[in-house]
Homo-oligomer: A and B are copies of this chain.
Amino acid sequence: MESIEELALGPCIASQYLRPFRLRYRQNGVSKLWDFMRAHDSVSILIFNISQQCFVVVKQFRPAVYMCEMEEQCPQYFENKTEESWCPLSDVLPASKGITYELCAGIVDQPELSLEEIACKEVLEECGYEVPVTSLKRITSSRSGVGLTGSKQTLFYAQVTDDMKSSEGGGQPEEGEMIEVVEIPLQDSMKFAYDETFPKTMGLIFSFMWFQSNIAPKLQEK
């Protein structure tokens, strides 16, 4: 159970992470402006542990998701927000409101590594499995946040066994990552995918369904 305390909402000035830009252009003769952000592309990996017949996903506290819920409950925090000061948030929601289930994933920020190499690194760091680059299967790619960042997400599939587990995973605590590895039994997976009481990403829902169509029939043959 996560403990989230001492929340305060502040101004976001010269962020290292959020890089807003404005594009001016003429589309079919009409002048336009569009505000957008640059964000890194990313990879995500559907991990299936064949020894345990379960999916391996990650669960973590997401401040942005938590603050969505906060705005719904306490819109005044955002409405009254002035540029300069920090505003302590007293009506604290339970941490569970900001916890999401996601595929193992990472941003593409190392030009010297291939997407597959980055994916394998994330599988090891977040979930503790040593996956050979050649065993990854590329599923597809998509565009996320098309209005805001438009960054490209590439989705892979990795089949693992208990023998490939070399650590507990959990992300990089030195970078502030607090990631919990969660196993979802195959037999419960579609119920989980559609259970809206567990907030999750579309990539997770899609990939569970992709598995049912593309991998599950082959497992049953064996």
Q: List 16 A-B contacts (CB under 8 A).
A: A11-B21, A11-B22, A18-B37, A25-B63, A36-B64, A62-B146, A65-B150, A100-B146, A140-B194, A140-B205, A142-B200, A145-B145, A145-B148, A202-B206, A209-B209, A209-B213
Q: Which residues of A contact B (CB under 8 A)?
A: 2-12, 15-32, 34-39, 41, 61-68, 71, 78, 81, 86, 95, 98, 100, 102, 140-153, 176, 178, 193-194, 196, 199-203, 205-206, 209-210, 212-213
Structural contact, B205 and A205, CB atoms closer than 8 A: no
Known contacts A21-B81, A62-B147, A206-B206: A26-B8 contact under CB 8 Å: no
Known contacts A30-B176, A143-B201, A194-B140: A64-B25 contact under CB 8 Å: no
A195 to chain B, nearest CB (A): 9
